[in-house]
Amino acid sequence: MGSRTTSKGKEHYYFYVCSAKKRLGGCSNNGIRADYLESYVLDKIDRECFQKTKADIKRESEKLMIAYNQKMKFENEELEHVKKELVKIDIKINRFLDAFENGSMAGEIAGQRLDILKNEKDALQSRQTCIMATKPTVTVDGFIDFFTENKNSLADRNDPSELSKIINTYVVEIVVHPGADDARIDIKLKHNVFGYNGSGEGVLTISETITKKELYHRYRNKG
């Protein structure tokens, strides 16, 4: 999705437009006012993710903390497994080297098997590095602060940079289906922005039909 700007008097309006239309001219969408679409998306995030009391936020933060600890436990167990597999591979590598040196295995065969083991070792070491990477300090209070700050930013809507961060954090995808006035807008939100809820990708698909005409009517009146 691309963007364009138009001016009306002293006012400047920003639009989201189809990048394919800009390149190839093959899309029927004429563009959607960025402020209207962003307001619509922020309203959806607010309703789906932040219509919660302080008690709700605390309760969900505690659940996230439990899920995070479970994830860390799983990663620690995986790390131990990776370390054991690396030891096994090193033993195999040494055996093939010994077999090659004492002449009991042809160099070509030994080389092929060593290449396979090297690739396996590289993959395991890469995973080991990923698991051992420094993790952020995670606490229940940290989760509560995160949700509270975002909730307050959504309520105030005075800081464009903060609102942009919220959209980037929670929105996976926005699809505007073809149509001049009857374009349908689907939104995919991250149901759990931390990814610790153990339910796959944690993506919540918010799919409702709203026409471009309805979108403009709703947010033009708000303005």
pLDDT in tens, 109-156: 889 999 999 999 999 999 999 998 877 778 889 888 888 888 888 888
Nearest to 35 by CA among 155, 210, 157: 157
Same-domain status, 203 and 217: yes
Same-domain status, 85 and 50: no
Nearest to 213 by CA among 186, 184, 182: 182
CA distance 199 to 197: 6
Same-domain status, 126 and 155: no
Binned at pLDDT 50, 70 and 90, residue 201 comes out as very low
> Does any domain span residue 5?
no
> Does any domain span residue 184?
yes
CB neighbours of residue 171 within 10 Å: 18
Choose the final residue of a domain: 81, 106, 132: 132
Q: Cα 150 to chain center, whole Å? A: 17
| Degrees, nearest 5: CA angle 192-74-197 | 15
**Taking every pair of C-alpha atoms in the chain, what is the biggest distance, in angstroms?**
86
Q: Is the overall model pTM greater than 0.85, yes or no?
A: no
pLDDT at 215: 84
How many structural domains is the chain composed of? 2
Mapped onto helix, strand or coil, the DSSP state of residue 195 is coil
**pLDDT exceeds cutoff 90 at 88:** yes
Residue 2 pairs with which residues in a beta bridge? Answer: 17
Supply the range of the domain harboring residue 96: 59-132
Same-domain status, 49 and 158: yes
